[in-house]
Structure 1
Amino acid sequence: IILAPIINKDLVIQQEKTMSVKGDIGVIGLAVMGQNLILNMNDHGFKVVAYNRTTSKVDEFLQGAAKGTNIIGAYSLEDLAAKLEKPRKVMLMVRAGDVVDQFIEALLPHLEEGDIIIDGGNSNYPDTNRRVKALAEKGIRFIGSGVSGGEEGARHGPS
């Protein structure tokens, strides 16, 4: 008996359509805020690359709320960076605190001078200032910009 992997044909077709297209911005974090912000960006003509640490959430998002859109899935940080136009713009929609620093450190090997990281969480301003300074030394621009208005603001426009 030969066992073939189960492949979601719709997802493969959706991904094939977007493989040659580079994304305008990458978003890390597919909780409610991240998903809604990605859908909002897509609605406004941006090509968005979506990534989540738990990669099964990428497939769930692409097969669910993002089905039929031009949103591109990424399955590693290296994959995310490779699918973005340069200079790369990556938005973190993750919990404020150590997780932001962990993602920044994990992203750095895949970024280069001139790329931009945007923290969309509600980080404490001393953390943001520290990150701005540390990343500037590496030629990476860092923007701390929380998204107001909750999940509705993320989906339909922050206040």
Structure 2
Amino acid sequence: MNTLPMNSSKSDIGLIGLAVMGQNLALNIADHGFPISVYNRTYSKTEGFLKENTHLGEKLKGFGEVEDFISSLEKPRKIILMVQAGTATDLVIESILPFLDQGDVLIDGGNAKWTDTIDREKRLKDKNLHFVGSGVSGGEEGARYGPSLMPGCSEEAWGEIKDIWTSIS
């Protein structure tokens, strides 16, 4: 379910979790010229966000199904998780794993406990996926106009996200 007209172009990055921080980070990314796909478990949230931001056109695409969301992304896929730290993050990761391919990059933008980040990185590395723990500091305004981003990841993962991360911060 997608409320915007689809074309064959893929998004550079995706974001899951459209609370205020997720919305503002998605807008920041789109404003810097990177097409972004968004998904929220409650589709009405995605739909409302798209309706409020029609001026972004094809730079902002929303989806109601996880598989469609992931299929909309350029490979290797880069997916930002802006969901509640802890169990919610793990549940989202588990729900998208069946749709991911070797080399894809998951970026946790939440306030995860450092030991959870280490565990997730190890677990996903065993599946040939990259995990980036990246704090997003600066609150709502920072996410929208220039957050302080603190990524911890492999050089390969950094190479995949560097252009976007340096542009939006």
TM-score by length of 2: 0.83
Once the two structures are superposed, residues 58-77 of structure 1 have per-residue CA deviations (whole angstroms, 9 ceiling, x without a partner) of 1100001x221120111111
Aligned residues between the structures: 145
1:96-135 to structure 2, matched below 5 A, reads 96-135=85-124
2:148 equivalent to 1:156: no
Greater shift, 29-38 or 18-27, is seen at 18-27
The residue aligned with 1:138 is 127
Greater strand share, structure number = 2
2:86 equivalent to 1:73: no
Aligned partner letter, 1:60: G
Over the residues paired in the alignment, what is the CA RMSD in angstroms? 1.1
2:39 equivalent to 1:51: yes
The residue aligned with 1:8 is none
Greater helix share, structure number = 2
Identity %: 54
Q: Which runs of 5+ in 2 are unaligned?
A: 149-169
Once the two structures are superposed, residues 112-152 of structure 1 have per-residue CA deviations (whole angstroms, 9 ceiling, x without a partner) of 10000000001000000000000000001000101000001
Q: Distance in 2 between matches of 1:36 and 1:60?
A: 14
4+ long deviations beyond 2 Å: none
The residue aligned with 1:7 is none
| Deviation for aligned residue 1:19 | 3.0
The residue aligned with 2:163 is none
